[in-house]
Amino acid sequence: MSETPPTWEEIAQVGDIERWVVAQLQQRGLLDEVADPAKLSGNALRQFKARREEERKVRKLLRQQAWAAYRKAHLVHLGADVFHHDTPDQDRYDLPDPETRRETNGLPALKDVQALAKALDLTIPQLRWLAFHREVDSGSHYQYWTIPKRDGGQRLISSPKPTLKKTQRWILRQMAERLPVHGAAHGFLPGRSIFSNAAVHAGARLLVKLDIRNFYPTVTWRRVKGLFRKGGYGEQVATVLALLCTEAPRELLQLDGKPYHVASGPRALPQGAPTSPALSNTVCLRLDCRLSGLSQKLGFRYTRYADDLTFSWHEHSPPPLGRLLRCARLILQTEGFVPHPEKTRILRRSRRQTVTGLVVNAAPDHSSPARVPRLKIRELRAALHNRLRGKPGKAGETLAQLRGWVAYLHMTDPDKAKPFLAQLNQLEARGADE
């Protein structure tokens, strides 16, 4: 039994594992179906028993080799509470014409997980390793840390490690970025930005801002799976894609000196994965359609930047504010999201109105429709001035951060950014310390 282990293709040509095992035993002369042990005695009976014992050992080893070959070519199992089967088939959730849907969106045709693994340049065991769900795991495909929120809480960041990140970037380029997105969405999309999001609401008489609580954790892996099903993929491929793009929030615990990552919630879009923004935009397609339709019916304008929803009223008549809030919250809840009651803001034009950090009050000089707050411009001016005079920057302030703020200002008002850009070039020419 020292020959090269079989491949699954070789086994499948015979039919299945049991037929292949029988064929191998026949080739070795170990399958004796003619002799009747009841009619044997003496040396013949001892030889028959020895042959049967050898057959039993070889049969066991052949089955082990066959199942090892099967596991190399099939995912088999993807974790507790994850339904997966290795034979692609059709069910009632399949689209009537999935090929047309994939072609419409420019998505690759992947008939099974073998085709998906080949497209991702992964072996089946590697694909299973990346997609497998465990409630308790000794390792993780992510690196975790927290950053402070504006409300004083902590936001969990889950950054995928290199192998998974490479896989997610392929899914992002070939699939997630090609899925349909509503025109009201402005976050993480080519040609759209916080500026395009804010400019829609410039000069509003009334501004209404809503926030979705726990936005990414609300988009669970089953919702992502449904997204890929609607994109034209079958149950098998959609399940694996959803697992690759989601992860459960985890706590690091120690047991007998060994670290364990314990799931503290359901798998969902992780904050920090390259696929999460694009997938969340597509998941919100129906939400955006309904909120946009509501806004048009009531006379408001509507945009969404990630989990920030903004409505603006530009008419001189009194706005139907109560109806807007009631209907918007109801739509959010029926679409599987939870509005954040503490982050609802109603801003009239008598006070400063900001959308995604930019001021949208009508400017007296009819300049940019959305502007960087004057306080931030003064801080930038002071920082560059001090640097030019040879003074050190504030604690934690780097030249890269100042470059970012100048670019931020240039996006909203290129003329106002010119002198700051000239000062920044002076600093770079001097070789100023970061």
Q: Structural domain boundaries of the chain?
A: 8-73, 98-175+220-268, 281-359, 374-431
The amino acid sitting at 4 is T
- pLDDT per residue over 329-352, tens digit each? 999 999 999 999 888 999 999 899
Q: For residue 33, with 0-12 CB atoms within 10 Å meaning exposed, 13-18 middle and 19 or more buried, which class applies? A: exposed
What tokens does 9 get?
A: 């293709």
End-to-end CA distance of the chain: 65
| CA–CA dist 130, 387 (Å, integer) | 47
pLDDT-derived band of residue 324, with 50, 70 and 90 as boundaries? very high
Where on the phi/psi map is residue 363: left (φ > 0), alpha (ψ -120 to 50), or beta? beta
Closest CA to 239 of 119, 72, 75: 75
Average pLDDT over residues 402-415: 89
Average pLDDT over residues 37-56: 76
What tokens does 110 get?
A: 């992947």
- pLDDT per residue over 221-256, tens digit each? 999 999 999 999 999 999 999 999 999 998 889 888
pLDDT at 430 over 90: no
The alpha carbon dihedral of 355, 276, 396, 423 has a sign of negative
pLDDT at 313 over 70: yes
What's the pLDDT at 39?
Answer: 67
pLDDT at 32 over 70: no
pLDDT-derived band of residue 50, with 50, 70 and 90 as boundaries? confident
| CA–CA dist 253, 36 (Å, integer) | 61
- Distances, alpha carbon 181 to alpha carbons 178, 201, 290, in Å: 9, 20, 13
pLDDT-derived band of residue 35, with 50, 70 and 90 as boundaries? low
What's the pLDDT at 92?
Answer: 78
pLDDT at 364 over 70: no
What are the residues whose beta carbons fall under 8 Å from the beta carbon of 366, sequence distance 6 or more?
A: none
What's the pLDDT at 34?
Answer: 60
Measured from the Cβ of residue 69, the count of other Cβ atoms closer than 10 Å reads 20
- pLDDT per residue over 119-150, tens digit each? 999 999 999 999 999 999 988 999 998 888 77
What's the pLDDT at 367?
Answer: 66
| CA–CA dist 190, 30 (Å, integer) | 66
- 8-state DSSP, 160: E
| CA–CA dist 104, 116 (Å, integer) | 19
| CA–CA dist 274, 296 (Å, integer) | 33
Helix, strand, or coil (residue 32): coil
Measured from the Cβ of residue 63, the count of other Cβ atoms closer than 10 Å reads 14
pLDDT at 434 over 60: no
- 8-state DSSP, 200: T
What's the pLDDT at 366?
Answer: 58
Helix, strand, or coil (residue 95): coil
What's the pLDDT at 148?
Answer: 84
278-300 as b/e, with b when 16 or more CB fall inside 10 Å?
A: bbbbbbbbebbebbbebbeebeb
Please enumerate, as own/partner, the contacts of 137-144 that have beta carbons within 8 Å and a separation of 24 or more.
137/250, 137/260, 137/261, 138/258, 138/259, 138/260, 138/261, 139/261, 140/250, 140/261, 141/247, 142/247, 142/270, 142/272, 144/250, 144/252
What is the average pLDDT score of the chain?
Answer: 90
What's the pLDDT at 394?
Answer: 83
Average pLDDT over residues 204-223: 95
What's the pLDDT at 162?
Answer: 96
What residues form DSSP beta bridges with 406?
Answer: none
pLDDT at 393 over 90: no
Helix/strand/coil (H, E, C) string of 286-297? Answer: HHHHHHHHHHHH
